[in-house]
């Protein structure tokens, strides 16, 4: 545990915000920031409403221990969040058209007017990239990694992933019984953006027959070959787990829509239905699709995510109190450490297509359509 140097412990008020998509465990982090900030460092904590929008518009609430009482098991975030309000590229309407303005100076001015001396910013790669931009402008910040996608390279695990994985695994368990009863192929589309962590872990833990991930473009013929193989063994049903970013060999990811105001405007979705259509045609079995979507973001966080979020929150406040800015808290092995924000956002963590997890899945008969 990092120890605070009293000589540099001058911060009296910190701000905390949650940016990007919500995920289970956010409230655990907020609670930890508030309770450890007050109890260990005697600081006031300001909660900024709806992510960076709170900085831009000066919307906030004071966070006391009473304010965070009972929120540990709650999903979502009591502060609200958004994945659109980037202060460095804020969408405004001018003469009926959308234009983008840099309102970062306005955000910093509001921060100063509120007496906020440092920020704890909770988010994924997009939110932390904005945090790094603020740090480059001289704002004292510490980042806390959050995403169900588990795709931040500087930490072994992000909080929210375990809960999303549990939801996906439970869905596979339920699909097994109906698939077997009706002799169907069930396709489950899960989130993950450009990384296949949710699909890989859920498919392995749930006993899927086929796992399709972005890191391994797949052949529908080989997917169907796996289905036919099972049929020849008397197993006239199959479970296919497909990551939203997966793609056919020679094809591209399926884009559902674009949100231009967002840090990452691409919204993936639809690959599950395409896979189902193709499997039904070539395998000759009735095929149904389930898209988990935002169910993976909701609900009460698992014990693992509550503990990890709490550890992250406490470490973030310790870093702020010690004046160690421009850092992100990270899990490395069993330890909570600090890494630079620059390193944290330098690249996405993706599944190694030849790695041990993939090999383990293949060893127990799971096909990746390759």
Rounded Cα–Cα distance for residues 188 and 165 (Å) = 13
322, burial (CB in 10 Å: exposed 0-12, middle 13-18, buried 19+):
buried
DSSP, residue by residue, 308-366: HHHHHHHHHHHHHHTT--SEEEEEETTEEEEEEHHHHTSSB----TTSHHHHHHHHTT-
**Distance in angstroms (rounded) separating the CA atoms of residues 310 and 76:** 15
Q: Is 54 helix (H, G, I), strand (E, B) or coil?
A: helix
Active site residue: 22, 85, 125, 149, which one? 149
Q: What is the DSSP letter of 150?
A: -
The residues, ordered by sequence, that sit 6+ positions from 41 with a Cβ below 8 Å of its Cβ are 4, 9, 11, 317, 321
60: enclosing H helix or E strand: strand 60-63
d(CA 21, CA 209): 30
Q: How far apart are CA 318 and CA 2, in angstroms?
A: 7
- The torsion defined by the Cα of 72, 73, 78 and 81, in degrees rounded to 10, comes to 110
DSSP symbol at 248: B
Other C-beta atoms within 10 Å of 236: how many? 16
Residue 145: beta bridge partners?
123
CA gap 9, 248 in Å, rounded: 54
Confirm whether 264 is a catalytic residue: no
Alpha-helical (H) ranges within the chain are 26-41, 52-57, 104-113, 125-136, 161-182, 197-206, 220-232, 271-283, 303-321, 341-344, 356-363
Tell me the catalytic residues: 149
């Amino acid at each position: 545990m990092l120890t605070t140097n009293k000589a540099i412990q001058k911060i009296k008020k910190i701000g905390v915000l949650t940016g990007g998509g919500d995920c289970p465990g956010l409230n655990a982090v907020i609670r930890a920031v508030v309770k450890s900030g007050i109890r260990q460092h005697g600081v006031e904590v300001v909660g900024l409403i709806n992510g960076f929008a709170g900085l831009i518009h000066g919307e906030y609430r004071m966070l006391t221990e009473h304010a965070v009482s009972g929120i540990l098991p709650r999903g979502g975030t009591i502060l609200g969040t958004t994945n659109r309000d980037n202060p460095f590229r804020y969408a405004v309407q001018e003469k009926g058209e959308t234009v983008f303005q840099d309102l970062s100076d306005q955000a910093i001015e509001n921060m100063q007017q509120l007496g906020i001396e440092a920020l704890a910013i909770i988010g994924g790669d997009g939110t932390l990239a904005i945090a790094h931009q603020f740090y480059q402008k001289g704002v004292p910040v510490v980042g806390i990694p959050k995403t169900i996608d588990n795709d931040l390279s500087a930490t072994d695990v992000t909080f929210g992933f375990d809960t999303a994985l549990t939801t996906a695994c439970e869905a596979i368990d339920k699909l097994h019984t109906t698939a077997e009863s009706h002799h169907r192929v069930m396709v489950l589309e899960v989130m993950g953006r450009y990384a296949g962590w949710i699909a890989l872990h859920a498919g392995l833990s749930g006993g899927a027959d086929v796992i399709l991930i972005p890191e391994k473009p797949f052949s529908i013929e080989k997917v169907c070959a796996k289905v036919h193989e099972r049929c020849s063994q008397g197993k006239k049903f199959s479970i296919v787990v497909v990551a939203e970013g997966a793609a056919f060999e020679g094809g591209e990811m399926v884009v559902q829509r674009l949100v231009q105001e967002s840090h990452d405007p691409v919204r993936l979705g639809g690959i599950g239905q395409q896979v189902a259509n193709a499997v039904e045609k070539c395998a000759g079995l009735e095929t149904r699709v389930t898209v988990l979507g935002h169910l993976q973001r909701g609900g009460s966080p698992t014990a693992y995510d509550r503990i990890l979020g709490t550890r992250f929150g406490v470490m973030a406040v310790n870093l702020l109190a010690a004046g160690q800015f421009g850092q992100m808290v990270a899990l490395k092995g069993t330890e909570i450490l600090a890494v630079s924000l620059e390193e944290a956002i330098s690249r996405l963590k993706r599944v190694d297509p030849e790695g041990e997890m993939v090999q383990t899945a293949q060893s127990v008969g799971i096909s990746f359509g390759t």
